[in-house]
Amino acid sequence: MKKNLFKTAAATILAASMAAGMLTGCGGAKTEAPADGAKTEAAGEAKAASGSTQVWRMAFNQTEDHPQYRVMEEFSKEFKEKTEGRYEIQLFPNETLGAQRETLEQVQSGVIEMSIVNNTHPGSVSDYFKAFDMPFLFDDIDQAIKFVKESPVMEEVKSDTEQYGFRIATYLPAGTRSMFTAKTPIKSVDDMKGLKIRTMESDIYVNMMTAFGGSATPMAMGEMYTAIQSGVVDGAENNEITYVNSKYYEVAPYWSQTNHLIVPDWLIINKDVYYSMSDADRAIFDQLCVEAIDKVQVQWQADVDKLMASLDTSKVTITSDVDIESFKNAIAPTNEKLVAENEKIKKVYDAVQSMK
């Protein structure tokens, strides 16, 4: 991380936010829709007519060589060109503006305009997103992309967070998640019994690991390497890029291709900022958002192929012939319970099933 390089800038932004008393927090007070959308758009058009460039800040928690960052860098250039310089997006990688939860709060309040966040964070305010945390919701990444592009329910999903001050701009593929362990490979769900596995700090992830027969240990990602190294946990689950770039293979040399989750990242934008654009500029923005989905996926897969091929197979064991059906059978009752108890989760789940 390069947090120290931008410490002053980040502190300035956060201090201004606190002084203004703007941060609402996830699940905090709702932000009502603009009383007069025409006035909001008119204000944006007035700025554009003045010839000035509106500068937006986009927060990101990964490095500059991450596929999402590279695509968003291209996104920014195209948006500026196609709006004839009316907008410029500045990217802040490496958590320089804060961790994802903090940047979501900053987007909510308008301290910054945009951020890339994991699905768990919108899920803290809108139950629609909890469906995307369900193991094996999608069969593969192509199906996930098709769903977010074509399903009519996605407009409801994207706009449901507007009551909290932000909108989902687009889905950004983040690969598939699998298991990696310190001492033994995982070939079926039976091999999960008794293993302490680090998960994200989410009830759905904890319930997932329990259903698989393991013992969930929720913790921040920054603690994970040391926790595996010291034996606090026996392993973790994540995508290939994180596994290799964060060097988890050094302490957990058994990679097992369970593909149990296809969890999206989301590009979010402050609601008022989104509606401040003219219809023409918003159409440009929306189109670039759609195009970004495939661009990220192409670069993501290229990075996965390259990074996994770089591993020393005399030190790292890759198990690709995992009994996936055993995992699906184990999680089925948990998924069914989620769908039965929550209408928003059910709506997304049923929509996914209708497209299979």
pLDDT in tens, 275-307: 999 999 999 999 999 999 999 999 999 999 999
Dihedral over Cα of 120, 121, 122, 123: its sign: positive
Main-chain dihedrals φ then ψ at residue 90, nearest 5 degrees: -100, 130
Closest CA relative to residue 112, chosen from 90, 134, 127:
90
- Note the pTM of the prediction, 2 decimals: 0.83
For all residues of the chain together, what is the average pLDDT?
A: 89
- Specify the range with the lowest mean pLDDT, choosing from 7-11, 113-117, 192-196, 274-278: 7-11
CB 315 within 8 A of CB 119: no
